[in-house]
Amino acid sequence: MNGQIGVYICECGPNIKDRIDIDKVIEDISSLGDVKTVKRFPLLCSNDGKKFLEEEIKKEDLSHLVVAACSPREHEKTFMDVCEQADFNPYLFQLINIREHCAWMISDKNEATAKAIKYIRAGIRRVALHRPLEKKEIESIPDVLVIGGGVSGLEASLSLAGKDRRVYLVEKTGSLGGMAKKLSQLLPNQGSNLSLIDEKVEQVHNNENILVSTSSTVGDVRGFLGNFEIVIHTDGETSGFRKAQVGAIVVATGFDVFDPEENSQYGYGIDNVFTAQEFEEQIKSGNVLLKSGKPPESVAIIHCVGRKERGYCSKVCCCYSIKFAHYLKDNLSNVNVSELYVDLCLPHKSDQEYFEEAKKKGVHFVRSEEEINVNQKGDQIEVEYHSEGKTDSIVVDMVVLAPAMIPSGDTPELAHLLNIPLDKSGFFKEIHEVLDPISTPIEGIYIAGCATGPKNIPESIVQSQAASGKILSSLIPGEKIVPEVKVSEIREEFCTGCQTCLSVCFYGAIRFDSFKGISVVNEAICRGCGSCVGSCPSGAIRSKHFTYPQLYREILEALR
Amino acid sequence: MNMNDTYMPTIIGFLCNWCSYTGADLAGTARMKIPASLRVVRVMCSGRIDPLFVLKGFLKGADGIMMMGCHPGDCHYQKGNYNARRRFVMLQNIFESLGLEKERIGLWWVSASEAPKYAQVTKEFAEKVKELGPNPLREEIFL
Ligand SMILES: Cc1cc2nc3c(=O)[nH]c(=O)nc-3n(C[C@H](O)[C@H](O)[C@H](O)COP(=O)(O)OP(=O)(O)OC[C@H]3O[C@@H](n4cnc5c(N)ncnc54)[C@H](O)[C@@H]3O)c2cc1C
Ligand code: SF4
Ligand code: SF4
Ligand code: FES
């Protein structure tokens, strides 16, 4: 090849200059074939440096560019932008890391210099094999599918519809609102007032941009960010299916609760042993009564039911259990209320005060170990518990169990359909619990609310707003999306159609074309990990910018 | 075989971009000392480490080859490192059946923050390879 490769070495202030003999590097590589020019510069990432590079690319009429400087993790993008500025295809450039991997790692200057020369030589040989890669732009659909009509789904739908996006809201049950709609009241620090939830449901029904499908599930999802094709199945009177196209998906399928029947120690099934949801319904109807029709004179509320089995804290149960105690104390005269807890979780700013007030009203808080046994005792119920090495018991008229929040029933099927992972507790898994708690590995699919684990209502709402924000800023009507450029491609002439690669690709980016009898990569879905390449027995797959010849060149140069 | 102190083995390290390469960068930032004999080849994911690269590298005279990726569950592309692990096991079997020294290849999980681990495993591996002496195939090929 008659290349015109330009090599630019950055001094990086003293960082590289002091630890690598740059003149020696220049002397060594200047003699290499295809190298047009080798120059040094004090700080290439500075504005002056970028301007210098841009001018050099044009002036020297370079065919390829090598910059020997810092880590590609730091400035690859910077120099690729310079290339674009200079109307030079950024994939004809290679950044060689002589700072972190040579100057800073090797104390002997001669050794560091020798290693830098090796790396730069390898880079020069590699870059000569680079081909220009072009960005593709594809149309995107700004509409969104929201799965689940609890507070999380309602909030996401309203935020998106508010910006004129069409939203397909799919709810499995016959009505919207999820668990929040079944509660008796919210916590006092949340304003107690449940009409807030009713208002949201109203707003969703009245919003023209939101197409609500109740008694419905998502039957099929295909595609990728900006271009998903979905099928919504509806049961009941309006049964049938509807096809739609959306650009993004929000999964807000919420949670179910631990079934206390799974463990007989909780006594579920005994008369007057209720779950928290059943108790919420009783409060809602205004009648907290025993089977006998009489109001209870003593109630034990048991926290952490299923915590041991599930292995995590459900975060909301302590607060609503205290809410129950307040209700009982305020509405039934002379009722005796005990709360048996393992650990108290009072995470929000007014929770502590709420707890102190309950104590003032005479609620007994009893710390117990997880081993609690609930048994019938005549007309009453005996709760046996262990505390500080001793076994104790109380006898009460009514028991309320606060069961753990668990993943909603269809979570595994939905995860399979959407190709998104679950965590070890069976909830949808975030890309990163701390840094990116609403994204999934599949671009364009977001998760919000209790679908990723126990949360209260405000936390669920915040996540939905965040997911909506991500969607509103990434899918803009009229704006095209640019998928990854360094993707894999299958060379038709080599593919035997064995389909081995299909099972390797996590993203489902490879499809078998049965007409041609070969496999094809959908470049809009492929993320360019390169996993499929090594699996192909025919060597038919090429990972752009990380091709076999390019990497092989690097290996050979390393061994010289 | 030449086993004296001046012998400097050649080691190739294939590092995934997202965890291991970043961990290696951090080792540099922290001025940790890394064997000069190690040559890093960056790939986007450990799943891109084609077994052919390892075999060819070895047949072309590399004294040792290191594969590094994100910890299981942390791969930027979800499961690429599981592919790497499977391929590594396969490579070990190939080395064994061809009568090659399988101690000359290794796989490690190094996260973006595990600079000390990077420094430690590269040092240990370089020492081990030095003990093993030059790749016997190297002479065959270069003589
Ligand atoms: C007893 C109890 C009391 C509580 N009290 C309070 C309180 O006072 N204050 C507070 O902040 N929080 C409270 N919480 C927590 C609160 O209920 C949750 O934070 C909230 O419901 C989370 O909303 P969500 O939309 O994420 O999930 P959900 O409310 O569970 O809504 C999910 C929706 O998705 C639907 N769905 C599930 N799977 C599918 C599918 N495959 N396809 C379509 N639709 C599907 C469900 O039918 C449901 O309508 C309480 C929880 C419990 C159990
Ligand atoms: S593994 Fe290779 S030969 Fe087999 S279908 Fe995929 S690309 Fe074609
Ligand atoms: S490079 Fe990765 S994402 Fe792309 S087709 Fe191959 S395995 Fe799938
Ligand atoms: S990205 Fe590090 S192993 Fe896949």
Under a CB-based contact definition with an 8 Å cutoff, are residues A66 and A8 in contact?
yes
Q: What is the pLDDT of residue B49?
A: 98
Decide: B58 in ligand 4 pocket, CB within 6 A: no
List beta partners, residue A405. Answer: A257
Could you tell me which chain B residue has the CA closest to the CA of A488? B48
Q: Is the pLDDT of residue B134 over 70?
A: yes
Q: Residue A539 in 3-state DSSP? A: coil
Give the closest residue to B42 by CA, choosing from A418, A104, A528, A555. Answer: A555
ipTM of the complex: 0.94
Round to whole Å and give the CA distance between B129 and B35. 12
Give the CATH number of the domain where residue A376 resides.
Answer: 3.50.50.60
> Do residue A284 and residue A392 come from a single domain?
yes
Q: Mean per-residue pLDDT for B55-69? A: 95
* pLDDT band per the 50, 70, 90 thresholds, residue A2: low
Q: Are residues A223 and A346 in the same domain?
A: no
Q: Is residue B70 within 6 Å of ligand 4 at its C-beta?
A: yes
**Alpha-carbon gap, residue A233 to A245, rounded angstroms:** 15
Same domain for A278 and A368, yes or no, is yes
In a domain, A205, yes or no: yes
Residue A265, number of CB atoms within 10 A of its CB: 14
Alpha helices in A385-518 (DSSP H): 411-418, 457-474, 500-504
Per-residue tokens: A419? 């190709």
Which whole-number Å values give the CA distances from A355 to A149, A187, A323, A350, in the listed order? 31, 12, 9, 9
**A131-187 pLDDT, tens digit each:** 999 998 999 999 999 999 999 999 999 999 999 899 999 999 999 999 999 998 888
C-alpha neighbours within 13 Å on the C-beta side of residue A547: 17
Ligand nearest to the CA of A502: 2
Q: Between chains, do A529 and B32 touch, taking CB under 8 Å as contact?
A: no
Is residue A447 over pLDDT 50?
yes
At residue B2, does pLDDT exceed 80? Answer: no
**Are A266 and A365 members of one domain?**
yes
> What residue segments make up the domains of chain B, in order of their start?
9-140
Q: Is residue A248 part of a domain?
A: yes
CATH number at residue A30: 3.40.50
* DSSP structural state of residue A261: G
Say which ligand is closest to the CA of B69: 4
Mean pLDDT score, A55-80: 96
Domain that holds residue A469: 144-254+408-474
Q: Is B49 in the A-facing interface, judged by CB distances under 8 Å? A: yes
Q: Is A476 exposed, middle or buried (0-12, 13-18, 19+ CB in 10 A)?
A: middle
Instruction: Give the closest residue to B102 by CA, choosing from B111, B93, B112, B114.
Output: B93
Domain assignment present for A244? yes
CA of A128 to the centre of ligand 3 (A): 25
**pLDDT tens digits along A248-304:** 999 999 999 999 998 899 999 999 999 999 999 999 888 899 999 999 999 999 999
- If asked whether residues A412 and A306 sit together in one domain, one would say no
CA distance B51 to chain A (A): 7
A266, A249: one domain: no
- Tell me: the pLDDT tens digits for B110-123? 999 999 999 999 99
Q: Which helix (H) or strand (E) segment is A52 a member of?
A: helix A47-59
Number of Cβ within 10 Å of residue B71's Cβ equals 14
Question: Minimal Cα distance from A122: which residue of B?
Answer: B41
Average pLDDT over residues A404-419: 95
Q: By three-state DSSP, how is residue A330 classified?
A: helix
Using the 3D structure, point to which of A90, A105, A133 is the last residue of a domain. A133
CA dist A147 and A467 (Å) reads 13
- pLDDT tens digits along B12-49: 999 999 999 999 999 999 999 999 999 999 999 999 99
Q: Cα separations (Å) of A29 from A91, A96, A121?
A: 22, 14, 7
Atom of ligand 4 nearest to the CA of B80: 4
Shared-domain flag, residues A103 and A158 = no
Kindly indicate the confidence band of residue A518, based on its pLDDT and cuts at 50, 70 and 90: very high
Disruptive mutation site among B25, B76, B111, B123 for chain A (greatest number of A CBs within 10 Å): B25
Q: Are residues A152 and A238 in the same domain?
A: yes
pLDDT at B141 over 60: no
Q: What is the pLDDT of residues A29-44, one digit of tens each?
A: 999 989 999 999 999 9
Same-domain check for residues A114 and A213: no
Is B53's Cβ below 8 Å from some Cβ in A? yes
Q: In angstroms, what CA-CA distances link A553 with A122, A125, A540?
A: 7, 7, 19
Residues A55 and A125 in one domain: yes
CATH class of this structure's domain B9-140 = alpha beta
Confidence of residue A1 (pLDDT cuts 50, 70, 90): low
pLDDT digits (tens, 9 = 90+) for A117-135: 999 999 999 999 999 999 9
Query: What is the best residue among A176, A316, A418, A438 to mutate for testing ligand 1's pocket, by most ligand atoms within 8 Å of CB?
Result: A316
CB pairs < 8 Å spanning A and B: 123
Sign of dihedral through CA atoms A144, A145, A151, A157?
positive
Q: What's the DSSP call for residue A328?
A: H
Enter the DSSP assignment of A14.
Answer: H
pTM: 0.81
Name the maximum alpha-carbon separation found in chain A: 99
Mean pLDDT of chain A: 94
Separation between Cα atoms, residue A306 and residue A304, nearest integer Å:
6
What residue type is A499 in one-letter code? Answer: Q
Three-class DSSP category at A438: coil
Q: How many domains does chain A have?
A: 4
Rg (CA), chain B: 15
| Rounded Cα distance, B63 and B136, in Å | 9
The candidate with the shortest Cα–Cα distance to A175, out of A213, A232, A218, A144, is: A213
State the pLDDT at residue B1: 45
DSSP code for A430: P
Contacts of B53 in chain A (CB under 8 A): 551-552, 555
The residue ranking higher by pLDDT, B70 or A441, is: B70
Q: Considering A353, A380, A398, which residue would you say is the last residue of a domain? A: A398
Backbone φ, ψ for residue A111 (5° rounding): -65, -40
Distance between B132 CA and the closest CA of chain A, angstroms: 18
Torsion of CA A410, A412, A416, A420, to 10 degrees: 110
Q: DSSP assignment of B46-95, as one string?
A: GGG--HHHHHHHHHTT-SEEEEEEPPTT-BTTBSHHHHHHHHHHHHHHHH
In which residue are the tokens 């107690």 written? A192
Percent of chain B exceeding pLDDT 90 equals 83
Angstrom distances, CA of residue B23 to CA of A85, B35, B54, B120: 31, 15, 22, 12
DSSP per residue, A211-227: EEE-SEEEEEEEEETTE
Q: Which residues contact A71 (CB under 8 A, 6 or more apart)?
A: A97, A99, A100, A101, B21, B25, B28
The more confident residue out of A554 and A369 is A554
Q: Report the C-alpha gap between A116 and A105 in whole angstroms.
A: 11
**pLDDT over threshold 60, residue B143:** no
In a shared domain, residues A269 and A386: yes
The answer to whether residue A279 sits within a structural domain is yes
B45 touches ligand 4 (CB under 6 Å): yes
Tell the residue number behind the tokens 């599949």, with chain if given: A442
Q: What is the mean pLDDT of residues A465-482?
A: 94
User: Looking at beta carbons, which residues of chain B come within 8 Å of A106?
Assistant: 33-34, 36
* The two structure tokens encoding residue A180: 């929040």
Distances (CA, A) of A409 to A234, A438, A523, A545, B79: 18, 20, 34, 43, 26
Contact call for residues B23 and B118 (beta carbons, < 8 A) = yes
Q: What is the DSSP letter of A344?
A: -
Helix pair A151-161, A457-474: axis angle to 10 deg:
30
* Burial (CB count <10 Å: 0-12, 13-18, 19+), residue B57: buried
**More confident site: B136 or A178:** A178
* Secondary structure in 3-state letters for A19-33: CCCHHHHHHHHHCCC
**The last residue of a domain, from among A365, A398, A431:** A398
Per-residue model confidence as pLDDT tens digits over A316-339: 999 999 999 999 999 998 999 999
pLDDT tens by residue, A187-245: 877 776 788 899 999 999 999 999 999 999 999 998 889 999 999 999 987 788 999 99
Q: In terms of domains, do A113 and A38 share one?
A: yes
Residue A550 counted as domain residue: no
DSSP state of A477: T
| Atom 6 of ligand 3, residue of closest alpha carbon | A532
Question: What is the Cα–Cα distance from A234 to A217, expressed in whole angstroms?
Answer: 7
Could you tell me how far CA A195 lies from the centroid of its own chain? 31
